[in-house]
Amino acid sequence: MKSHIKITYCTQCQWLLRATWMSQELLTTFKDDIDALTLIPGTGGIFEVYANDEKIWSRKEMNGFPEITKLKQLVRDVIAPNKSLGHIDRKHS
Amino acid sequence: MKSHIKITYCTQCQWLLRATWMSQELLTTFKDDIDALTLIPGTGGIFEVYANDEKIWSRKEMNGFPEITKLKQLVRDVIAPNKSLGHIDRKHS
């Protein structure tokens, strides 16, 4: 069963480019693991990432934006727990 | 009622960047009209765009990729028929 990623971003804060950049990174790294990635415009400073409906990042709760390698680990842990991220894992182990 | 856009693109053909570029254009022009935009990896040369589940572009059926102003008109005609696209409409009327 493949997976669905959702990225909600604040349009008032001009975070579309940040959200689409992260979508490019995730859809490249998890090319064979992601079934669909949905971008959802929001307001009020929202920036959240969901993997299979599990919230894995919230700008408000985690005080900022995810570093991309950290985000990839969080996504991997939900949608492809056995997938190695190569150097990312070695650097952070 | 807002709208849902879907872009299906071929990963074998490396069309992720083309698909995410178009998503940035659509989510900018239709910032207040689109509820969600979903990117769907596919194979075999697929490149299709749906607006509220209506197929508005197919690379195979239309022999190529949409010119961005044309794509915006096609999206507008489905999700916000009364929305003016300014110079785009004047140039193409």
Residues of B in contact with A35 (CB under 8 A): 40-41
Separation between Cα atoms, residue B23 and residue B4, nearest integer Å: 12
Which chain B residue lies closest to A8 (C-alpha atoms)?
A: B36
For residue B24, the surrounding DSSP H or E stretch is: helix B16-29
Separation between Cα atoms, residue B52 and residue B63, nearest integer Å: 22
Q: Rounded mean pLDDT of A66-71?
A: 97
Residues of B in contact with A16 (CB under 8 A): 24, 27-28
Note the pLDDT of residue A92. Answer: 53
How much is the ipTM here?
0.93
Q: How far is CA A78 from CA A5, A71, A73, B37, B38, in A?
A: 10, 11, 9, 22, 20
3-state helix, strand, coil in chain B (%, to 5): 40, 30, 30
Interface test with A, best of B39, B46, B50 (most A CBs within 10 A): B39
* Amino acid letter for position B33: D
Tell me if A41 and B31 make a contact (CB, 8 A cut-off): yes
Q: Give percent above pLDDT 90 in chain A.
A: 87
Q: What strands lie across the sheet with A34-42, from one edge to the other? A: A54-58, A47-51, A3-10, A34-42, B34-42, B3-10, B47-51, B54-58
Interface test with A, best of B5, B12, B40 (most A CBs within 10 A): B40
Tell me if A35 and B36 make a contact (CB, 8 A cut-off): no
The tokens of B76 are what?
Answer: 């507008």
Residue B31 φ then ψ, to 5°: -50, -40
For residue A5, the surrounding DSSP H or E stretch is: strand A3-10
Which chain B residue lies closest to A28 (C-alpha atoms)?
A: B16
DSSP state of B29: H
Q: Compare CB distances from B23 to A11, A34, A39 and report the shortest one's residue.
A: A39
Number of alpha carbons in the 13 Å side-chain half-sphere of residue B30: 31
| Residues β-bridged to residue A9 | A41, A47
Note the pLDDT of residue A1. Answer: 62
| Residues β-bridged to residue B5 | B37, B51
- Tell which wins on pLDDT, A1 or A68: A68
Could you state, in chain order, the average pLDDT of each consecutive group of 10 residues for chain B (93 residues)? Answer: 92 97 98 97 98 97 96 97 83 54
- Tell which wins on pLDDT, A40 or A86: A40
Map out the domains of chain B with their CATH numbers. Answer: 4-89 (3.40.30.10)
The average confidence (pLDDT) of chain A is 94
Q: What is the pTM of this model?
A: 0.94
DSSP state of B27: H
